Amino acid sequence: MAVERLFKDEATEEKGDRARMSSFVGAMAIADLVKTTLGPKGMDKILQSTGRGNSVTVTNDGATILKSLHIDNPAAKVLVDISKVQDDEVGDGTTSVVVLAGELLREAEKLIATKIHPMTVISGYRMAAECARNALLEKVMDNKDDTDKFRTDLMKVAMTTLSSKILSQDKEHFANLAVDAVMRLKGSTNLESIQIIKKPGGSLKDSFLDEGFILDKKIGIGQPKRIENAKILVANTAMDTDKVKIYGARVRVDSMARVAEIEGAEKQKMKEKVQKIIAHGINCFVNRQLIYNFPEELFADAGILAIEHADFDGIERLGLVTGGEIASTFDNPESVKLGHCKLIEEIMIGEDKLIHFSGVEMGQACTIVLRGASFHVLDEAERSLHDALCVLSQTVNDSRVLFGGGWPEMVMAKAVDELARKTPGKKSHAIDAYSRALLAIPTTIADNAGLDSAELIAQLRAEHHKEESNAGIDVITGSVGDMSVLGICEAFKVKQAVLLSATEAAEMILRVDEIITCAPRRREDRM
C-alpha cells in the first residue's frame, strides 16, 4: 500500500523534471540579472534597502549586487555563493562567474531535453573544463623576472579591472595608485595595511596615495600638534574613572566631605594609572576608549599627545603599521612593545582635520585617500579600488597574465571544440555545449556595448583559427582588435577561478532531481 502523505501539511516537494526546471530557471534568472553589468560598457544597478534610512547603493560589482538580494530559489543561492567566494578569493570576475555558470546550465537544459542523462553532461563538462584550463596554461605570459615589464603588466591588469567600474574615466591615475600600494606590500596578500579613507568633496581625480598612516581623529586641546621621533603606545583601556561610577551600589556617607574623599581616591587611582603609562617613556598615547578631561590634562602636562576613541580598525591597523602591540595593562613596561614613527602631525583634507603618522616601521603601509562628489560615488570607488587591489596582490604572487577582452574565452572555446570532435559518444554533445557557453562572455561584452555580437563573434572565431592570434573585442571602436596593442590584460588566477567555480556550480545544480521545502514552523497558540 502506498504511503499517502510523508511530509507535514505545508511542506512541498518537486520531483524530476519540475525540480530541474525550477533550478534552471532560477539560476538563469540570476545570470541575466547581472549580465548587463559585464564588460567596459556594463551598466550599474541601484539597490535600495527597505530598512531604516532606506540606504541606496549604486554598484556595478556582481558580488555586491547578489549579496544584497534576498532569494528564495535554492539554485540561485548557489550562484550567489560562488560569486561571494570569487570576491573573497580573487576579488574580480564576480559577474563573469555567474554569467558562465548560467550559460552552462542553459546549454545543459537543451541537452537534457534531448534525453541525455545529467551525469553524461557532467562528465563532459569535467573533460571540457580540464581541456580549457590546459589551453590557457599554454598561453600564459610571465614577466616576473623583469621588474619593469612586470610593473607594466600590473598596470595593464589594474586598468582592465578598473575599466568596467566607475573609475574607468581616470583609470590610469587609479591603476597607478593601486600598483604603488600593492608593490609596497612586497608580495603579501594582506590588504589590511592599505587603508582607504573616503572624504567627500573634490573630484575623483583628487584622490592620492600617502605613505604612512592617517587616523581620522583630531588632536586634543592643549597638546603638542607635532611630534618628531614618536614612541607610540597603542592601548585598549578605560580612562574614564575619575568620577564615582559604582553601578548598582549605594554608598552612604554622613557628609559631603566623605564624597569628596571617594572622588579623591578615584582621582588618585586615575593619576597612578596615567603615571604608569607615562613611565613607558612614550610621547603619544592612542586609546580605543574615551579619555576623560582629568587624564587628558595630565597627559598634556607631560607633553604627551593623547588620542581617544580611535576606532578598532584604526588601532589594529596602527599597531600593525607602527610595529606596536595593543596593550591593556601597564604594570611592566619592558614587556610592552611600543610603536615608532618619525613624525606625527595634523593635516587637513577637505574640511576635516586628520592625524598623519609618517615614516612608520612597516614600510608596507600606506593610505589611499579617495575624494568624490558624494558618498555613493565614494562607496562605489572604494569597491572598485578594492577589486583592483585584490587582483593585483594575487597577481604579484602568481605572476601569470593573459590577454583580456574575450580573448581567453575564444582560446578555450577553440580547444574545447577540437576536443569535442575527437570524443566519441554522447559526451561530445556536452563538450560542444561547453564551448558554446564559453562564448557567452565575449557575446555579452559585445551586447552590452550595443554592438552586433553575432557578427563580432564570427569574426573573432575566424581570427583565432589562424596561429597565435591576439584578437579580442575592442569595445571602444566596436570591432575586433589586437589585445597586445591595446594593453588589455587579465590575471590568470582570476580566469582560472571563474572557470573552475562556474563549472562546479553548474555541476552541483545539474545533480538535483528533487527539491523539498520544509513546512514553516507554526507559533503555538499560547492562550
Q: Which of the residues 59, 64, 95, 503 is marked catalytic?
A: 95
Q: Tell me the average pLDDT across 318-330.
A: 75
Whether residue 26 is predicted with pLDDT greater than 70 in this model: the reply is yes
User: The CATH number of the domain where 99 resides is what?
Assistant: 1.10.560.10
**CB of 207 closer than 8 Å to CB of 369:** yes
CATH number for the domain spanning 251: value is 3.50.7.10
CA–CA distance, 476 with 463 (Å, rounded to integer): 19
Mean pLDDT of 190-217: 80
The domain containing residue 299 runs over which residues?
Answer: 213-362
- Check whether 261 has a pLDDT greater than 90: no
For 238-287, give the secondary structure using H, E and C. CECCCCCCCCCCCCCCCCHHHHHHHHHHHHHHHHHHHHHHHCCCCCEEEE
Residue-level pLDDT at 41: 83
49-58, 127-136, 468-477, 509-518: which is most confident: 127-136
Whole-structure pTM value:
0.83
pLDDT higher at 258 or 188: 258
Whether the per-residue pLDDT at 498 is higher than 70: the answer is: yes
| Domain-located, residue 518 | no
Q: What is the pLDDT of residue 165?
A: 80
The better pLDDT of the pair 279, 320 is held by 279
Kindly report which listed range (87-91, 110-114, 119-123) carries the lowest average pLDDT score.
87-91
Residue 133 — very low, low, confident or very high, per pLDDT cuts 50/70/90? Answer: very high
pLDDT digits (tens, 9 = 90+) for 393-402: 888 888 888 8
Which of 363-367, 398-402, 415-419 has the highest mean predicted lDDT (pLDDT)?
A: 415-419
pLDDT at position 433, please? 92
Q: Are 146 and 449 in contact, with CB atoms under 8 Å apart?
A: no
Q: Indicate if 65 and 88 belong to the same structural domain.
A: yes
Produce one character per residue of 19-36: b if its CB has 16 or more CB atoms within 10 Å, e if not.
bbebbbebbbebbebbbb
Question: Are the C-beta atoms of 389 and 440 separated by less than 8 Å?
Answer: no
pLDDT at 197 over 60: yes
User: What distance in Å separates the CA atoms of residue 355 and residue 220, rounded to the nearest whole number?
Assistant: 11
Residue 10 vs residue 4, higher pLDDT: 10
Task: Please tell me which of 119-128, 242-251, 269-278, 310-319 the model is most confident about, judged by mean pLDDT.
Answer: 119-128
Percentage of the chain beyond pLDDT 90 is 9
Q: Based on the fold, state whether residues 120 and 174 are members of the same structural domain.
A: no
Residue 254 above 90 pLDDT?
no
Determine, yes or no, domain membership for 521.
no
Name the maximum alpha-carbon separation found in the chain: 100
Q: What is the pLDDT of residue 130?
A: 93
Per-residue confidence at 304, pLDDT binned at 50, 70, 90? confident
Look at residues 362, 381, 414 and tell me which one is the last residue of a structural domain. Answer: 362
Greatest mean pLDDT among 293-297, 330-334, 501-505 lies in 501-505
Cα separation, 420 vs 124, whole angstroms: 9
**Catalytic one among 37, 64, 94, 160?**
94
Please check whether residues 134 and 154 belong to one and the same domain. Answer: no
120 and 20 in one domain?
yes
At 193 the pLDDT is 73
- Judge if 74 and 168 occupy the same domain: no
Nearest 5°: phi and psi at 234?
-100, 125
| Structural domains in the chain (count) | 3
Residue 2 falls inside a structural domain: no
Statement to judge: residues 223 and 350 lie in one domain: yes
Q: How far apart are CA 84 and CA 93, in angstroms?
A: 10
Judged against a pLDDT cut of 90, whether residue 465 lies above it is answered with no
Examine the pLDDT at 187 and tell me if it is beyond 70: no
pLDDT of 355 > 90? The answer is no
* Over residues 483-511, mean pLDDT: 88
Alpha-carbon distance of 342 to 344, in angstroms, equals 7
Distance CA 86, CA 63 (A): 8
Over residues 151-185, the pLDDT tens digits come to: 888 888 888 888 878 777 888 888 888 888 888 77
- pLDDT for residue 127: 92
Q: What is the pLDDT of residue 129?
A: 92
| Same domain flag for 107 and 222 | no
Query: 242 pLDDT exceeds 60?
Result: no
Q: What is the mean pLDDT of the chain?
A: 82
> Are 342 and 378 contained in the same domain?
no
Higher pLDDT pick, 288 / 99: 99
- Shared domain for 411 and 394, answered yes or no, is no
Q: In this structure, is residue 525 part of a structural domain? A: no
217 and 358 belong to one structural domain: yes
Half-sphere exposure of 459 (CA within 13 A, CB side): 20
317 and 230 within one domain: yes
What per-residue confidence (pLDDT) applies to 416? 92
Among this protein's residues, is 94 annotated catalytic? yes
Least confident range from 69-83, 306-320, 329-343: namely 306-320
Q: CA 169, CA 187: separation in Å to the nearest integer?
A: 28
pLDDT value of position 430:
92
Rounded Cα gap, residues 347 and 215, in angstroms = 10
The reply to whether 424 and 412 lie within a common domain is: yes
pLDDT of residue 132: 92
Q: Is the pLDDT confidence value at 300 over 90?
A: no
Run of H or E including 166: none
Check if 64 is active-site: no
* Residue 426 near residue 99, CB atoms below 8 Å: no
Q: Give the confidence band of 434 by pLDDT, cuts at 50, 70, 90.
A: very high
Catalytic residue among 170, 387, 432, 474: 387
Contact between 31 and 103 (Cβ < 8 Å):
yes
Split at pLDDT 50, 70, 90, the class of 245 is: low
Domain membership flag for residue 7: no
One-letter-per-residue 3-state SS of 393-450:
HHHHHCCEEEECCCHHHHHHHHHHHHHHHHCCCCHHHHHHHHHHHHCHHHHHHHHHCC
**Residue from 61, 87, 379, 417 carrying the catalytic annotation:** 61
* CATH code (residue 386): 3.30.260.10
Cα-Cα-Cα-Cα torsion 146, 151, 153, 156, nearest 10 degrees, comes to -160
Q: Which of 33-37, 308-312, 394-398 has the highest mean pLDDT?
A: 33-37
pLDDT band at 124 (very low <50, low <70, confident <90, very high): very high
- pLDDT-based confidence at residue 244 (cuts at 50, 70, 90): low
> Does the residue 155 lie in any domain?
yes
Domain membership flag for residue 5: no
- Tell whether the model's pLDDT for residue 147 goes beyond 90: no
Position 67 in a domain: yes
pLDDT exceeds cutoff 80 at 499: yes
Whole-angstrom Cα distance, residue 246 to residue 435?
A: 72
Residue 189 is predicted with a pLDDT of: 67
What is the residue type of 270?
Answer: M
